[in-house]
Structures are given as structure tokens and as C-alpha cells.
Structure 1
């Protein structure tokens, strides 16, 4: 659903740029709280250690999986948007930053998503999907039984609904600033219809990923915090809460295995599996061609980039070219994402130190 340059006029593109900038500013502040994990100073470091190591990795994983277009209808494909996955794994504010980092890397290095449309893409793919998905997820985990299976189910439904929500937001933006004169009703029907199907794929990927992480390290899933059931003991014929177990020190539960496994999976997906992705246009590209909203699309400013269109320039072998581009993309994204969240983490630690000193 990467919107190219020329789909949306300059005033509306600028307006969405302001919205995106505001969302990122708010998310930077919110991510500092999420990576602190709790308001109690004695637990701040533990909460942050749960979130911070995954944040850059989640951005790289989303980049990798977005390369895997899957068929959804005749001549149409879809790919992960990632907002739901990021929000549930590392928190909604951190999730907005994760997807924004991915979109920035894709726009600058791979000519995927227009640079003047970056505000549109962040508003649509990062902000909308994250907010909608996490809101739905929180409602569901409150009404469903408190279990790991419920978190997986809630993840599926949240991701499923986030994709047509993003399609609806794009339609609204196009209604305000579209550069061609087409029927908005037809655009809305086509966009929402195809993205409901794409949402099924998004939901499956999100639920499988969240389920895999929560099976081995539930403490690393932001959306699972506070959902643990207290063990019950029968005393004199009555059930009572068992004493709370002592928290496992952060140092005793290394994140290294999870991080290495996640990075290896991202490199494998982007460097090898991506070659077998569907070559059909994605939902937005297909609707744009069918409805004529791509008539004034402009060539990307980074069209001459050495990595444009997810291939390495001057490497003739298509498999090798795409694989190298994917590996480079994962590497750049994990470095950029980790850098952003390292700064956020440092700011959080400085705030805690100042509070304790005061």
C-alpha cells in the first residue's frame, strides 16, 4: 500500500506530513514510557530491557516480511503492513516508530513509496494500523479468557481489521487531495474489498509471529504484560492466590537467542524466500490501475538508487540481486531502528536518574 508521488496533491501531502511528524513526536515520548515498562523506579530498568532489544529487530522483521507479496485474488497480491504486529510485540508508540523507520528506509533506498508522499504513508501504514490494531487488541484481551491463546486470537482479529481501516483512510485522503477525477465510491469499494482479503494474510502472519514469541518468551510481548494468571492453592477447602514468585533478574534471561533467531529469520526471508514472492501488483497498485488514479503518478526521486526496486544495480542475476538487496535492507533497517530506540532508551534512563536525584 505504498503511495507513490503524484497520487495526492501538494497541500494534502503537506498536511499529512504534519500529522505524521506530530505522530512521531508523540510516539517518541510514548516509547520512552513503554521502554521503561512501569512508573516504579525499581522496575523501570526491567521493563525497558524487555522492550528495547526487540524494537530494532521488529522493524527489520517487518521490512523482510513486506518483501513477501502473497496472492490474494486474480492478478492481485498483498503484503504485511506491520502495524498490528509491532504494536502488540513492543507497544503502540514504539510500533509507530518501527513502521515509520521501515517506510523511511524503503522510500530513500529502495524507491518504494514516494518521498513527497512519506507523510501519507506514515499516517496510513504506521499510525492508522497501529492505533486501530492496538485498540481492538486491548478490547479483546479484556473480554477473552486470560490466556496465551487469547492473545493470539486477539492479535489475529486486530491485524485483520487494521488493513481495511488503512484502506479506508487512504480513500479519505484521496477524496481530499486526489490528483485525478474518479469516483470515490468506486475507489472505496475496490480498496476496502481487496484489503479485506489482504487483511486475512496480515492476520495470519501477525498471529503466527506473536504466538511463536509468546510460546518461548511471553515476557518479551508488550501486549501480554499484566495478563498472567495467579496460581491458585486449595487451603482448608478454599482456593486462595499463591504467593507471587520472585521476578527473574533481567541478566538471568538473555535476549540474545531471541534476537539472533529473529535476525536470522529476517535475513532468510529477505535474502532467499523473497525471490518466490508474488510478482502481481499489490492492492493499491491494482486499484490505481483499474480505477485510473495513477494517471499523474510521478517517477520516484530515488529511481536511480543502487537498490531501487529491491535489486542491486549492475548485478545481472535476478535471484542474487534481489537477495543482496533484501539482506542490505534488513541490515540497514535493524541498525537504523536500533539506533533510534537506543537514543530513546538513553533518554529514558536519563529521566529516571534525574527523578531519583530529585
Structure 2
């Protein structure tokens, strides 16, 4: 659903850019509360994984394909604020390096594909998990429904933007029907991919899934004969045990209810999951993407059928050596596309990880500020 240059007029594109910039600014602040030393690397990986899976267009109807949008996946895995940033990083890399999604339409794409999908999916997800039993199956079912609904919601948002700032005169009713209809089908694929991915991560590391935090029992400290919750991100299990032993005032106890083991999940490193996820993303982008559907995606198909694309402008990065997901001067299509995918995954994980580590560092600086220290001292 990447909107190219020329679909939306300049005033509305600028307005969408302001909305997108505001959403990113809010998300940068909100992500400070979601990211810690374990989840910051995972957020960069999520962005790279979304980039890779978006290269895997799947057929949804005769002559039409779809691909993952990723808002629901990112929001449930790493949190809604971080999720907006994940998808925004992907869209930025696609637009600059691969000429996918117009640069003047970047605000529109972030608003539709990052903000709308994340807000809609996470709101629906949280509502469902509150009324369903707190089990892995409930989280997976909620994930499926949330991801499914997020895609036609994004199509509806694009149609609304086009109704206000579209550059061609087409019947909006027909565009709405076509966009929501085809993206409802694409939403089924989105839901399957998202639910399978979230379910796989929950099966091995539920403590790292933002939307499944209630499935894992928190680490407990016995202090003065009473059990109190330890802060999982701030007090690793080994440190808690050491602290209790050193002071002679307490011992650490806990169970990882969501993992099925007796070892607290907070004591385990996310490195293995990160490495497995990165290898998976590289394989998907570097090899599996060659077998993706070549049919136009939902927006491209609707645009061609209804004349929305009559004023499409050439992409500013059309001359990029990686434009259209191929490496310039490499004639072998399989090799060219595979290398482009690998480069894209590497660039996305590098930029995404840099952004999220900077956000995490900012969180630590804020916590260590004099005012924060005074507040802590006053409480003690």
C-alpha cells in the first residue's frame, strides 16, 4: 500500500507530513517507557523482519497481490509507540534506498501504514485480551483479529485522504469499495503471518513480547517475610539473588509461568532469539523473495483500474542503485533481488537499532537526571 508521488496533492501531503511528524515525536517519547536493554535490540530486529516480509507479496485475487503492513506485528511484539517507529523506519528505508513509496508521500505512508495500523490493531488487541482468558491461545487469537482489522482500516484511511487531496477526479464510493474489499482479503494474509510470528515468539520467549507480559509471572523478592515484585528490566534475576545474599535481608524467588521452566525469564539473554530472527529475515529477503507474486498489490491494482495513477510522478530516488529492489549492473534477477534484500535487511536493522538504542539511552539519562535522583532520595 505504498503511496507514490503524485497521488495526493501538495497541501494534503504537507498536512499528512505534519501529522506523521507529530506521531513520530510522540512515539519517541512513549518508546522510552517500552524499551529496555532486552527489548531495544528486538525492536531493531522487528523493523528488519517487517522489511523482509514486505518483499513477499502473496496472491489474494486474480491479478492482485498483497504484502504485510506490519503495524499489528510491531505493536504487539514491542509496544505501540515503538511499533510506530519500527514501521516508520521501514518506510523511510524503502523510500530512500529502493524508490518504494514516494518521498513527498512519506507523511501519507507513515500516517496510513504506521500510525493507523498500529493504533487500530493495538487498541483492538488490548480490548480483546482484557475480556479473554489470559492464555497464549487468547493472545494469538487477539493478534489474528487485530491484524486482520488493521489492513482495511488503513485502506479506509487512505481513501479518506484521497477524498480530500486526490489529484484525479474519480468516484470516491467506487474507490472505497475496491480498496476496502481487496484489503480485507490482504488482511487475512496479514493476520496469518502476524499470528504465526507472535505465537512463535511467545512459545520461546513470552517475556519479550509486549502484548503477552501478563503471561509471565514477575520475579519476586522476599523482604521482611513479604513477597514484593522486582523490576524485571532493572533488576536481573542473578543480580537480585546476589543482592539478597550480600545484604542478608532477602532471597529471590520466581517462576517463568509463561515459559514452562523454573528459571525466571528475565535472567535469559535475548541474543539467541535475535540471531535466529535476523537469519530468518535474511533468508526471506535474500532467497524466498524471488518467489513472491509479481502481480500489483492492492493499491496499485485499484489505482490502475480506477485511473488514480494517471498523475503518478517519477520517484526522486528512481536512479538509486537499489531501485525496485534490484542491484544495479547485476543482470541475474535472482542474484540482484537477493542482494538487494540482504542489503535492505542489514540497513534497516542498523538504522532501527541505532534509533532504539538512542531512545533507550535517553531514557537512562532522564532517569539519572538530578531531579530524578532527588525524587528517589526523597522517597528513601
TM-score, normalized by the shorter chain, greater than 0.5: yes
1:122 aligns with 2:131: no
Distance in 1 of aligned mates of 2:366 and 2:270: 24
Asked whether the 8 Å contact 2:4–2:105 carries over to 1, the reply is yes
- State the Cα distance separating 1:251 from its structure 2 match: 7.4
Distance in 2 of aligned mates of 1:344 and 1:317: 40
Specify the alignment match of 1:313 in structure 2.
328
Specify the alignment match of 1:240 in structure 2.
none
- State the Cα distance separating 1:245 from its structure 2 match: 1.7
1:357 aligns with 2:373: yes
1:107 aligns with 2:95: yes
Specify the alignment match of 2:360 in structure 1.
345
Residue 179 (structure 1) aligned to one of 153, 167, 171: 167
Specify the alignment match of 1:12 in structure 2.
12
Distance in 2 of aligned mates of 1:244 and 1:23: 41
Asked whether the 8 Å contact 1:65–1:79 carries over to 2, the reply is yes
Asked whether the 8 Å contact 2:41–2:357 carries over to 1, the reply is no
Asked whether the 8 Å contact 1:50–1:219 carries over to 2, the reply is no
Distance in 2 of aligned mates of 1:258 and 1:245: 22
Q: Secondary structure at the match of 1:226?
A: helix
Distance in 1 of aligned mates of 2:86 and 2:104: 20
- State the Cα distance separating 1:265 from its structure 2 match: 0.1
Question: What's the CA shift string for 1:13-65, capped at 9, x where partnerless?
Answer: 00000000000000000000111xxxxxxxxxxxx134212100000000000
Question: What's the CA shift string for 1:104-130, capped at 9, x where partnerless?
Answer: 000000000000000000000000000
Specify the alignment match of 1:41 in structure 2.
none
Q: Secondary structure at the match of 2:308?
A: coil
Q: Secondary structure at the match of 1:6?
A: coil
Distance in 2 of aligned mates of 1:330 and 1:124: 22
Asked whether the 8 Å contact 1:49–1:250 carries over to 2, the reply is no
Q: Which runs of 5+ in 2 are unaligned?
A: 219-251, 257-262, 375-380
Distance in 2 of aligned mates of 1:229 and 1:318: 50
- State the Cα distance separating 1:8 from its structure 2 match: 0.1
Specify the alignment match of 1:265 in structure 2.
280
Asked whether the 8 Å contact 1:146–1:229 carries over to 2, the reply is no
Specify the alignment match of 2:254 in structure 1.
245
Larger gyration radius, structure 1 or structure 2: 2
Task: Give 1:58-137 correspondences, 5 Å limit.
Answer: 58-137=46-125
- State the Cα distance separating 1:244 from its structure 2 match: 6.9
Distance in 1 of aligned mates of 2:349 and 2:29: 21
Distance in 1 of aligned mates of 2:55 and 2:18: 28
- State the Cα distance separating 1:190 from its structure 2 match: 0.1
Residue 341 (structure 2) aligned to one of 326, 334, 338: 326
1:286 aligns with 2:295: no
Q: How many residues align?
A: 334
- State the Cα distance separating 1:227 from its structure 2 match: 3.9
Distance in 2 of aligned mates of 1:50 and 1:88: 16
Q: Secondary structure at the match of 2:59?
A: strand
Normalized against structure 1, the TM-score is what? 0.91
Residues 308 and 347 of structure 1: CA distance in aligned 2, closer, same or farther (over 3 Å): same
Asked whether the 8 Å contact 2:19–2:111 carries over to 1, the reply is yes
Distance in 1 of aligned mates of 2:266 and 2:332: 45
Aligned-CA RMSD value: 1.5
Specify the alignment match of 2:22 in structure 1.
22
- State the Cα distance separating 1:351 from its structure 2 match: 1.1
Question: What's the CA shift string for 1:238-274, capped at 9, x where partnerless?
Answer: xxxxx97268678731111000000000000000000
1:165 aligns with 2:153: yes
